[in-house]
Amino acid sequence: MQGIIDQFRNQGVSMKNKGEYYCSLNFPFKYLLCKELSEMYQSLGMFMSAYELLQDVELNEDAIKCLYMGGRQTDAIKKADALLEKY
């Protein structure tokens, strides 16, 4: 699954080439793949790895939960407060 996520970062293919096949391929969205992989990481107790994946795709609520479960409660509270002030 990590290999599929890494394909989103592949800079060897131009956007024009990607756009030609966009509708014809059933390629999943990056944020869904990251969320699924982070859930696998969480089931293994790898909360900080899951946090980094979720942070990358801006799934903030789930990322804060991972911080909290990873033993970094003060960081989770600070991040939640910063997000609340932002919105």
pLDDT at 31: 84
pTM over 0.75: no
List average pLDDT for each run of 10 residues in the chain, which is 87 residues long: 63 62 67 89 92 91 93 93 89
Q: Which among 26, 24, 31 is positioned nearest to 5, based on CA atoms?
A: 31
